[in-house]
């Protein structure tokens, strides 16, 4: 039996790759409920590729970290199979988080499937090993590594998609990344390499192991970086009360009344290709999606409205709702009522604004239904907001 040692730098690199791939996969799979089915599938496919390929990259770098007195080779068929299995099963695990209601049971099912994908990738990848040795496994290693992969994958998904903030997502990524690495190295602790004199020799690698590991690591980080540029806004982050970037871009100050039209007819909403907005004086209702159905809520019940890409969130003081309309369409629909445009990303029902607050050179409306209770007021809207509040 051969003694196995590891290059500590390559071990550390494998863990970093696992964490980076986990963050990319989880980040790409955030905010998907706001997308139509077609775009949602594309985004899940990208998340599956990033996470699955990242898991395989971690495994490959970890195997290159092994130091044995004999050379090891890898069968192309099993290596490719391990990549595809990793992408497919982890992708299915991520997809389950966006099918139906996200319950604890659904998280357990998705985490279990993701964990099994990690385990499957590892052992199919190990079947690719060739050289002057045989590879054997102790049953305890299989059960221990499987338990680690499944239990901590559940914890990672629970963390990442609990409150869906950037901090929670990052913690989930760290847990999942460490889980992937922990599963690999715990399985390897129970893996035995035995020298065989009559085994097929391993092919001499064209590229030295250290350089090959560096190439794989750089490629993994480049792919993750490119994919992260296509990530959607988070469904709820520390940005809930304040948009990312810090600058308050100018927009229209007060919700304008609809264009004049004939009595009883609906005026077209600006920028919406002829969508209808109610005539002033009517009580508008806003749609929201829940449990695969579309419901309607009286707009006067809504405290604040926040833009999320091409969609919006409605806050009524008790919870928030996903509205399939853009903020410009909502703005036109509630025109002439008690809603005030405070920022390019926010509409506020002025009746529910409890206070006006200044912090340094920035201004906010205090609306408790928003998570941080502070809705930003841009400089362009400041005078209009003060005038509407009578201050």
Proportion of the chain above pLDDT 70, given as a percent? 77
pLDDT tens digit string along 233-246?
554 433 333 333 33
* Mean pLDDT of the region 346-360: 84
Question: What's the average model confidence in pLDDT over 166-195?
Answer: 86
Q: What gap in Å lies between CA 55 and CA 59, rounded to an integer?
A: 6
Could you tell me which residue, 252 or 293, shows the higher pLDDT? Answer: 293
Is pLDDT of 367 > 50? yes
Average pLDDT in the 128-151 region?
85
Show the DSSP H helices in the chain as ranges. Answer: 8-28, 37-64, 76-96, 104-126, 139-160, 166-189, 209-228, 327-333, 379-389
Q: What is the pLDDT of residue 265?
A: 34
Average pLDDT for residues 283-291, to the nearest whole number? Answer: 85
**pLDDT (tens digit per residue) in 35-87:** 666 777 788 888 888 888 888 888 888 888 888 777 777 777 888 888 888 88
Residue 320 has pLDDT above 80, yes or no: yes
| Contacting residues for 39 by C-beta, under 8 A, at least 6 apart | none
Residue 31: the pLDDT is 66
Helix (H, G, I), strand (E, B) or coil at 347: strand
* Residue written as token pair 């221990």: 144
Q: Residue range 1-9: average pLDDT?
A: 82
- C-alpha–C-alpha distance, residues 297 and 290, integer Å: 12
**pLDDT: is 114 or 278 the higher one?**
114
Q: Where are the domains of the chain?
A: 5-228, 267-389
Both tokens assigned to 148: 């680690």
Which of these, 366, 384, 386, 368, lies nearest to 376 by C-alpha position? Answer: 366
The tokens describing 214, both together, are 């560096």
pLDDT of residue 215: 76
Q: What is the CATH number of domain 267-389?
A: 2.40.50.1020
The greatest distance separating any two alpha carbons of the chain, rounded to the nearest whole angstrom, comes to 94
pLDDT at residue 279 tops 50: no
Q: What is the pLDDT of residue 201?
A: 53
- pLDDT score for 348: 87
Q: Which of these ranges, 175-184, 202-211, 380-389, has the smallest mean pLDDT?
A: 202-211
* 219 pLDDT more than 50: yes
CA dist 293 → 51, 98, 100, 308 (Å)? 31, 15, 11, 20
More confident position, 212 or 295: 295
**Distance in angstroms between the alpha carbons of the first and the last residue of the chain:** 82
Contact 235, 31 (CB under 8 A): yes
Q: What is the pLDDT of residues 254-269, one digit of tens each?
A: 333 333 333 333 333 3
Q: Is the pLDDT of residue 101 over 70?
A: no
């Amino acid at each position: 039996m051969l003694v196995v040692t590891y290059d500590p730098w390559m071990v550390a690199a494998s863990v970093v790759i696992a964490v980076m791939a986990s963050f990319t996969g989880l980040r790409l799979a955030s905010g998907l409920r706001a997308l139509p089915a077609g775009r949602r599938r594309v985004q899940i496919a990208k998340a599956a590729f990033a996470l699955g390929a990242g898991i395989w990259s971690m495994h490959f770098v970890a195997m290159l970290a092994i130091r044995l007195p004999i050379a090891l080779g890898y069968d192309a068929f099993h290596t490719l199979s391990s990549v595809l299995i990793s992408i497919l099963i982890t992708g299915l695990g991520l997809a389950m988080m966006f099918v139906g209601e996200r319950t604890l049971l659904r998280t357990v099912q998705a985490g279990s499937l993701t964990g099994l994908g990690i385990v499957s990738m590892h052992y199919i990848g190990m079947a690719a090993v060739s050289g002057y040795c045989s590879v054997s496994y102790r049953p305890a290693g299989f059960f221990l590594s499987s338990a680690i992969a499944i239990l901590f994958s559940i914890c990672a998904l629970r963390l990442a998609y609990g409150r869906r903030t950037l901090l929670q997502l990052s913690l989930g990524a760290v847990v999942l990344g460490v889980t992937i690495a922990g599963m690999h190295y715990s399985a390897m602790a129970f893996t035995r390499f035995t020298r065989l004199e009559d085994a097929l020799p391993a092919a001499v690698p064209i590229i030295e192991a250290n350089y090959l590991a560096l190439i794989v690591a750089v490629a993994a980080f480049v792919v993750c970086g490119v994919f992260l540029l296509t990530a959607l806004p988070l469904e709820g982050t520390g940005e809930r009360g304040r948009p990312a970037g810090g600058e308050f871009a100018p927009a229209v100050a007060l919700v304008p009344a609809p264009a004049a039209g004939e009595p009883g007819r609906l005026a077209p909403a600006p920028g919406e290709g002829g969508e209808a907005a109610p005539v002033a004086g009517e009580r508008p209702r806003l749609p929201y999606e829940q449990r695969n159905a579309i419901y309607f809520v009286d707009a006067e019940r809504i405290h604040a409205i926040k833009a999320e890409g091409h969609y919006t969130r409605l806050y009524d003081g008790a919870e928030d709702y996903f509205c399939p309309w853009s903020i410009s369409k909502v703005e036109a629909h509630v025109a002439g009522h008690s809603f005030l445009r405070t920022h390019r990303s926010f509409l506020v029902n002025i009746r529910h604004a409890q206070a006006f607050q200044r912090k340094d050179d920035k201004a906010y409306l205090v609306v408790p239904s928003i998570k941080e209770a502070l809705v930003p007021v841009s400089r362009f809207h400041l005078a209009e907001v003060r005038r509407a509040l009578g201050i």
